Amino acid sequence: MAQTAYRKLFDLTGKTAVITGACGILGRRFAAGLAEFGADLALVDLVEPPAAALAAELAKRRGVKAVGIACDVADPEAVKRLAERVDRAFGGAQILMNNAATKGHNVDAFFAPVESFDLKTWREIMAVNLDGMFLVAQALGARMAERGGGSIIQTASIYGMLAPDPRIYEGSEYNGRPINTPAVYTASKAGVIGLTRHLATYWAARGVRVNTLTPGGVASGQNDAFARRYAARIPLGRMAEADDMVGAAVFLASDASRYVTGQNIAVDGGLSAW
């Protein structure tokens, strides 16, 4: 019996990955990780120059083809142009890291309590976190289905699975600002998990796998009070680092996960096991 070359299952050489929210905390790590395993990159963010700069850096460091593309994922026409540009530049994509999310233009409104949360802000967040997730998956996933395969990884959050514990936010700050997890964030990320399951079964017969990567709380500017309280809830005893998410992303993007679809992979230090 022939021996499977297991290491080669993780090789992404010859594949193109589209990463939305590419200039964010997780997006940059996803881009670096997929490039290290050989993937060419279409790095997508709201503004093109930072995405293009990141693309140039990774192309030089890893010897892959990479371009930066500006796209508002909440705009159906912009998403259509994104898909067309990826087709022109790369001949299509085999991997989609559907990762873009927003706090909206008014951060104070984003962190408002449930009782006073504004519907306009709710719709602004949903337009990116859920509508945008659907629009990008729709445009690129349909093309993958036409070509007979691909892998879509959608970024959710542990708060799409669990309700936040308000006790950890007492005295907690993010970059000097009091914080909470608003209901719109929880609802949008729960929607991502449901969307993943639907698309996974819808496109399965055409070779497109769709999975969710669900990060736990990632250290990124929270104060010590928050970090201590959050870590106390985690079996592994610490907040996540952005790099902790990359291994799962590479797995889901690669043929190592060729029999995995419709799943929610929680990289949460064990929080959801309590």
Given 159, 169, 185, 230, the catalytic residue: 185
The DSSP H or E segment spanning 172 is none
- Which residues, listed in sequence order, are joined to residue 202 by a DSSP beta bridge? none
- Please give the distance of CA 45 from its chain centroid, rounded to a whole number: 12
* Residue 6 known to be catalytic: no
Cβ(274)–Cβ(250) below 8 Å: no
Buried b (16+ CB within 10 A) or exposed e, 171-187: ebeeeeeebbbbebbbb
Q: What is the rounded CA–CA span in Å between residue 175 and residue 121? A: 21
Burial of residue 132 (number of CB atoms within 10 Å: 0-12, 13-18, 19+): buried
Q: What is the rounded CA–CA span in Å between residue 70 and residue 73? A: 9
Q: Hey, which residues are catalytic here?
A: 185
